[in-house]
């Protein structure tokens, strides 16, 4: 994950943390946000941890990326340690365990236990430049449907440089995913972006996401995915709340011609501050729409495949203490496809505790 820090306004500095961008929802085993959803669809200050919050549910790789920018008062590099470590544990219920990467839905619900670890180390940080490396581990364990358990390992590198009021960011990662106890998918991700202010409370971000996907078994699905995206942020309530609007174009070329497609994604997100149990938390709402038109005939249906789906999201998070954060998420995905095995409806409820050292 990368963090961009626009210029100061008074004594308060606006810090935007971008959640890891993923492209097409991997609705499955314990979803993402990773997120296996390529839902190319995860609190504050730099460095920010990568979040495969989609592990249980609607997409392991979360689509269209940033439903999770957060606003916080930024600390200087001298005030924060170079390294950070976060442990996570949670529970989830998925009412239709599935994996959209391979167009499979079970039609069965299951409860899920989740475990995770995020480690980040800042190699260099000054007023204009930032370089860091990271590692993330996530594991989902289903109560009954063990064939949909997911384990993921992510090694990342990101660098940023400020040019005047704008910030250029390069984000690179290698993701290795084990599905049902067997090697499943390796993903190489390169995501350059630029973040710039338009007004004191309006910012835009342009990015170009490139993914190289290698499947361990079904090599026909090996793909190169390209996704240019534009996002606009509007901050209000003294920068404690924001609206985020996003749009992207998606093009994926696969080894098997029936899996190649072009498409687009649109999303709208709202984040508001809340006071709960005398703690200052955040509540977030989001909506994603994805359309995908395939390039060639799918043999099993003898026609051109068409997919489109909507995802509605809500999230509440608040600190239990200075080191412990509690969150509860709900995501509902309604996916239409003229390929019967790809069509599904899924609801995912997730709770999680995070402890930051």
Q: ∠ CA 156-162-167 to the nearest 5 degrees?
A: 65
Confidence of residue 79 (pLDDT cuts 50, 70, 90): low
Of the listed ranges 5-9, 56-60, 275-279, 353-357, the one predicted with least confidence? 56-60
Query: Would you state the pLDDT for residue 60?
Result: 29
pLDDT exceeds cutoff 60 at 110? yes
Q: To the nearest whole number, what is the mean pLDDT of the chain?
A: 82
The terminus-to-terminus CA distance of the chain in angstroms comes to 18
pLDDT digit string, tens, across residues 253-280: 999 999 999 999 999 999 999 998 778 9
Query: Would you state the pLDDT for residue 44?
Result: 31
pLDDT exceeds cutoff 50 at 1? no
Q: What is the mean pLDDT of residues 56-78?
A: 35
Listed residue (188, 208, 175) closest to 65, CA to CA: 208
Alpha carbons 41 and 64: distance in angstroms, whole number: 5
Alpha carbons 357 and 344: distance in angstroms, whole number: 40
Burial category of 49 from C-beta neighbours within 10 Å (exposed 0-12, middle 13-18, buried 19 and up): buried
Q: What is the mean pLDDT of residues 124-134?
A: 94
pLDDT exceeds cutoff 90 at 51? no
pLDDT exceeds cutoff 50 at 89? yes
Query: Would you state the pLDDT for residue 69?
Result: 35
């Amino acid at each position: 994950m990368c963090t961009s820090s626009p210029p100061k306004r008074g004594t308060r500095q606006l810090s935007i943390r971008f959640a890891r961008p993923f492209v097409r929802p991997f609705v499955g085993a314990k979803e993402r946000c990773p997120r296996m959803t390529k839902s190319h669809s995860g609190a504050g200050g730099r460095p920010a941890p990568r979040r495969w919050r989609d592990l249980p549910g609607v997409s392991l790789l979360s689509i269209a990326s940033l439903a999770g920018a957060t606003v916080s008062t930024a600390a200087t590099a001298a005030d924060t340690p170079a390294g950070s470590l976060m442990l996570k544990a949670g529970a989830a219920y998925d009412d239709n365990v599935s994996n959209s990467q391979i167009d499979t839905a079970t039609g069965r619900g299951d409860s899920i236990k989740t475990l995770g670890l995020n480690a980040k180390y800042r190699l260099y940080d000054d007023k204009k430049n930032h370089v860091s490396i990271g590692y993330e581990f996530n594991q989902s364990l289903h109560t009954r449907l063990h064939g949909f358990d997911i384990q993921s390992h992510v090694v990342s590198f990101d660098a940023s440089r400020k040019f005047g009021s704008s910030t250029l960011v390069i984000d690179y990662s290698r993701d290795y995913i084990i599905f049902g106890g067997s090697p499943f998918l390796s993903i190489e991700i390169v995501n350059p972006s630029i973040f710039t202010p338009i007004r004191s409370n309006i910012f835009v971000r342009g990015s170009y996401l490139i993914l190289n996907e290698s499947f361990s078994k079904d090599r026909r699905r090996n793909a190169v995915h390209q996704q240019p995206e534009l996002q606009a942020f509007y901050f209000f309530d003294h920068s404690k709340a924001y609206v985020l609007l996003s749009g992207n174009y998606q093009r994926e070329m696969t080894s098997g011609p029936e899996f190649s497609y072009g498409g687009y994604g649109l999303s709208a997100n709202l984040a508001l501050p809340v006071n709960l149990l005398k703690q200052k938390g955040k509540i977030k709402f989001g909506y994603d729409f994805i359309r995908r038109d395939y390039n060639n005939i799918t043999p099993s249906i003898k026609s051109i495949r068409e997919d489109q789906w909507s995802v509605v999201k809500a999230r509440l998070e608040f600190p239990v203490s200075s080191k412990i954060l509690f969150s509860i998420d709900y995501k509902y995905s309604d996916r239409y496809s003229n390929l019967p095995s790809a069509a599904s409806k899924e609801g995912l409820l997730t709770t999680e505790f995070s402890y930051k050292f």
